[in-house]
Amino acid sequence: MRQQCLLATLLAVLIAVIPGGVAHSRDTYMKTDASMYPHAPSLLQWEKSGADFTPPETCADCHPEKFEEWTGSMHALAFKDPVYQGELNHAVKEAGHEIARQCEGCHTPAAVVKGEIKGAGLEGLSDMALAGVSCDVCHSVKGHTHWQTPYHQPENGSLILSPGKDGPEGPELTKYGPNTPDEYCGDDFHQCVESPLHRSSELCASCHQVSNHETHTPLEETYREWKNGPYATANIHCQDCHMVETQTFKRSADALQKPDREEYHHYFNGANFLLYYLTELAARRAGDEELAENVHNKYTMAVERLQAAAALEITPVYRQEKLAEIKVRVKNIRAGHNLPTSLTNIRQMWLEVTATDSQGNIIMTTGSVDTQGTLPKDIRLFNSHTQDKNLEFTLNPWEAESFSKNDTIPPKGYKDVHYGLSLDRGTSVTIEAKLRYRQADQKLAEKLLGMVPGDIHLEAVYGIKEIPALPIIDMVSKTVVIHKK
């Protein structure tokens, strides 16, 4: 009896100390402290004063180059992005209006703290709200609460925004930047404060770590993947690959050498070539050749970045003197985090492999998309699967609580794929392997773009009557000839 009692107490204690342990009910999840995080489920904080946020067009007067680089970047598009707007619309319909604050806390933070959020759609919003992740979001970041969050790691916008303060003669703007300011810094428009945070990945962390809004379990973990990897140890931060030209990024990754001060630019270029492609279509339709040219360059950069990220190795495996298998090794050589990263349950990266014998007959082929844009079921996707509280597959971030699979490739790491292959005729076989990437499954993209709110007219803005076949990028390809032995 006594023993049973002890056991029960022990069990109860155990369950209490394992966060999110097996026996949890939804009431026992870590709660967000509402007094600390008034904009929950976003973890943004705002030091309110008479000093308001400033839209990017004003910063452009004195920082024209930065403005041009940022224009058309994923940060500038973060709120207007039709794929995002489609998903936001879906989220609000399924999970209720509250969820919008979580999303917008990263996709347009100033609008959240100012209470401008009305759900999906662009109508009636200020320039600052439409500008997404704009100049005055990042340069008003005074600090962060990364380690005070419910999960004790950066998540869901755990930043402190402070555009300025009330001074004796009215509001004074303060901008945080990477350098030690001289006396002319800010030209009477703003004061300057040196901020080591702006030279570090910690600035990017709270937005590039997405967690479930209730359970706080991480769903997108770019920062943590970086933090646990070799680049963090070598002092190579997000800025050193994403705020520089392609050549400089390759040097940061290969030589682990930090760029010089004058090499930084506000491109924030990643992998999302699809959105630049759509934005270029829209700009050409609107007759804005300057923007079209600008995003075309960003499209090229994104493709170049994807094509620099990975390498392939093909090795034959012989058993009893006979060719039995080929092994394809996919190496993440230049992504500072896992490859792919972030929305890993949606992005698609896979191998297409073809084996041709010496007479030119195709003896094996795998990984080709069909005419509907669908991938075969039996291939290895380097992606993740997210599941809800009943351990059922879901793609919806408001339902997803854990991973049932995560097959992404860590920084400077690799994954192997084996293909059974025997050679009956001829003496050699040619193996061609290609690593391919697209933003999403064709059907899923059609679904998301089909859900954009009524005030974004895909046909009028982008000239899209039906969703075109999503472009696929060949990241790297390799051909080798293998002998029978």
Closest CB 448 distance from ligand HEC, rounded Å: 6
- Residue 327 tokens read as 């092994």
Residue of 339, 381, 429, 470 that binds ligand HEC (CB under 6 A): 339
Closest CB 257 distance from ligand HEC, rounded Å: 11
On the 0-12 / 13-18 / 19+ scale of CB atoms within 10 A, 102 is buried
Q: Binding pattern to ligand HEC, positions 465-484, x when CB under 6 A?
A: --------------------
Window contacting ligand HEC (CB under 6 A); options: 194-202, 363-371, 399-407, 421-429 = 194-202
Contact between 264 and ligand HEC per CB under 6 A: yes
Q: How many residues appear in the chain?
A: 485
Residue of 45, 46, 51, 59 that binds ligand HEC (CB under 6 A): 59
Closest CB 282 distance from ligand HEC, rounded Å: 14
Residue of 39, 101, 146, 305 that binds ligand HEC (CB under 6 A): 305
| Omega prior to 168 cis, within 30 of 0 | no
Q: Based on CB atoms, which residue is closest to ligand HEC, 67 or 350? A: 67
* Contact present, 353 and 365 (Cβ < 8 Å): yes
Residue identified by tokens 């995003």 is 295
Contact between 458 and ligand HEC per CB under 6 A: no
Closest CB 404 distance from ligand HEC, rounded Å: 20
CB atoms near residue 12 (< 10 Å):
11
Window contacting ligand HEC (CB under 6 A); options: 19-27, 178-186, 381-389, 449-457 = 178-186
Q: Based on CB atoms, which residue is closest to ligand HEC, 111 or 431? A: 111
Amino acid symbol at 192: C
Closest CB 425 distance from ligand HEC, rounded Å: 40
Residue of 38, 167, 181, 376 that binds ligand HEC (CB under 6 A): 181
The Cα–Cα gap between 455 and 87 comes to 15
Angle at 205 between CA 202 and CA 206, to 5 degrees: 115
Q: Based on CB atoms, which residue is closest to ligand HEC, 235 or 365? A: 235
Contact between 252 and ligand HEC per CB under 6 A: yes
Contact between 306 and ligand HEC per CB under 6 A: yes
Q: Binding pattern to ligand HEC, positions 416-455, x when CB under 6 A?
A: -----------------------x----------------
C-beta nearest to ligand HEC: residue: 336
Residue of 37, 84, 419, 462 that binds ligand HEC (CB under 6 A): 84
Contact between 210 and ligand HEC per CB under 6 A: yes
Q: Based on CB atoms, which residue is closest to ligand HEC, 113 or 328? A: 113
The Cα–Cα gap between 350 and 440 comes to 12
Contact between 298 and ligand HEC per CB under 6 A: no
Closest CB 437 distance from ligand HEC, rounded Å: 7
Window contacting ligand HEC (CB under 6 A); options: 19-27, 263-271, 321-329, 453-461 = 263-271
Residue of 61, 288, 289, 474 that binds ligand HEC (CB under 6 A): 61
Residue of 157, 164, 218, 367 that binds ligand HEC (CB under 6 A): 157
* Contact present, 42 and 156 (Cβ < 8 Å): yes
Residue of 24, 66, 284, 285 that binds ligand HEC (CB under 6 A): 66
Q: Based on CB atoms, which residue is closest to ligand HEC, 58 or 358? A: 58
The Cα–Cα gap between 57 and 136 comes to 11
Contact between 75 and ligand HEC per CB under 6 A: yes
Closest CA to 328 of 314, 339, 340: 314
Contact between 199 and ligand HEC per CB under 6 A: yes
**Cα dihedral 413/419/425/429 (nearest 10):** -20
Closest CB 295 distance from ligand HEC, rounded Å: 12
Torsion angles phi and psi, residue 65, rounded to 5 = -65, -45
